[in-house]
Amino acid sequence: MTDAHVSLQDFRRRLRRHLPGGPDGGGAPWLDGLVMEHLPSGNVLRITFPHIYFARWFTPHETDFSAAVNAAWPDDVAPRLEYVLHGQPLPWRPAPQAAPFRIPDILFLHAGGSGDDAPLPSGARNAFPLALARAVVLREPGHSPFLLHGEKGTGKSHLLHHMAAALARQGLRVILAPAARFFRHCPPGEQTALLFWQQADALFLDDIQALDGQPRAQRLLAALLAHRPDAAPAVLALEGGPHVLGTWEPGPAASVRRLLSAELTPPDMEARMRYLQQCCRENALDLPREHLRLMARRAAHFRGLRSLLLRVKAAWGEGAAARPSLDDLERLARTGPVQACHAGHEQILAEAARCCDAAPADITGTGRHARLVMARQAAMYVCRRHLGLSYPELGRAFGGRDHSTVIHAVKKIGKMLESNKDVQRLVARLEKCAHQEQPDSPSGDGLFRT
């Protein structure tokens, strides 16, 4: 040793007294297998392991060993510890053993939990995603994993809840969470993906667009998809379309794009009515059907409906002298951030785009081609006349235009209808589309009660 000239054999006896268990408690059975050598130059105590398995056995005790060396060393300055694996010329320090990854309980959806009673976004346009969802619940092969995408408020989260709750009732261990929260609890790495599928039977991730700018989470998502057992259901929900993955890393983006894809469109009139009826029951609101129908005409998405209903509850909640009139509701719907004007305005936009062989975005855009301008103004006229939208509402719906632009368009089309047969045919075609508000498919709420 240094100035104290204590032998390593004496130091080993002193060391054992400072280890957990002490000399009489049978502690530190691994100590005798350690080869220790003191190097006075640099005051280094070199610890050599006979083989890799012994090093792994020693690893959990490294902290106790270091503290015991500091206490048992006879000099004032304890040596620096250096770990060497036998047969390797370079110093080797045992890596700390991390605890095995375990999925937090908060990410699991338990059978009988809330969130699966919201109405489904039914309609003929949503027949394909609903069929895929039913196949996932029935665990039919070849339908999972799939990517569910669509604009905000179309019911993607509701559909995920329906599928997850139905599988949880079957006794499966189901993960249901927003992607951002899920990856906060899951350390990145391929080992996490392997351990994940040992603990979970199904995975439902919402809002995966939140992973933009998080390459480590994106890679873990790709690993989860790669290691997924064939029988394990998995559904990812994405706001927007697959094009939003353009800023992701190429590998993870390709993994998601390869999935079977289904777009969810805004709920039809029947689904919006059923959603309002359920919300009224939950909030103890007694509103006539004609009131609900007006609200359903004013908001195309579930979020817009809930926003409007909450403002109705705030204005005419408990203790209100009377129910709101239709005029009251109309005024309330025209103020505040209702998410969308009316589901019919989207259908009219789509029909106007078909009439001039363009896309709906071209109708609401800044294009000045004569056909686009005529289709845009005719769509404004029909929305104003048949949907009762205000000029500011129409301006917001048609690309954020000023209300004076809408007023000019409506007046212009009204005059041209008197003599222009092309405009008459165009407006008649759009009016026919505006009247198609009847439900186009049966309810889908019993879809997963198998």
pLDDT in tens, 246-285: 899 999 999 999 999 999 887 778 878 888 888 888 878 8
Q: Show me where the domains of the chain are located.
A: 29-98, 105-263, 269-335, 345-435
Confidence of residue 312 (pLDDT cuts 50, 70, 90): confident
For 345-435, CATH number out of 1.10.10.10, 3.30.1360.200, 1.10.1750.10, 3.40.50.10800 equals: 1.10.1750.10
Mean pLDDT computed over 104-111: 84
Question: Looking at the predicted structure, is the pLDDT value of residue 235 above 90?
Answer: yes
- pLDDT value at position 44? 87
- pLDDT value at position 218? 94
What is the pLDDT of the chain when averaged over all its residues? 80
| Domain 105-263 class in CATH | alpha beta
- pLDDT value at position 341? 44
For residues 228 and 405, what is the distance between their CA atoms, to the nearest angstrom? 54
Label each residue of the chain as H, E or C: CCCCCCCHHHHHHHHHHHCCCCCCCCCCCCHHHCEEEEECCCCEEEEEECCHHHHHHHHHHHHHHHHHHHHHCCCCCCCEEEEEECCCCCECCCCCCCCCCCCCHHHEECCCCCCCCCCCCCCHHHHHHHHHHHHHHCCCCCCCCEEEEECCCCCHHHHHHHHHHHHHHCCCCEEEEEHHHHHHHCCCCHHHHHHHHHHCCEEEEECHHHHCCCHHHHHHHHHHHHCCCCCCCEEEEEEECHHHHHHCCHHHHHHHHCCEEEECCCCCHHHHHHHHHHHHHHCCCCCCHHHHHHHHHHCCCHHHHHHHHHHHHHHCCCCCCCCCCHHHHHHHHCCCCCCCCCHHHHHHHHHHHHHCCCCHHHHHCCCCCHHHHHHHHHHHHHHHHHHCCCHHHHHHHCCCCCHHHHHHHHHHHHHHCCCCHHHHHHHHHHHHHHCCCCCCCCCCCCCCCC
pLDDT in tens, 47-68: 888 777 777 778 777 888 888 8
Question: Looking at the predicted structure, is the pLDDT value of residue 445 above 80?
Answer: no
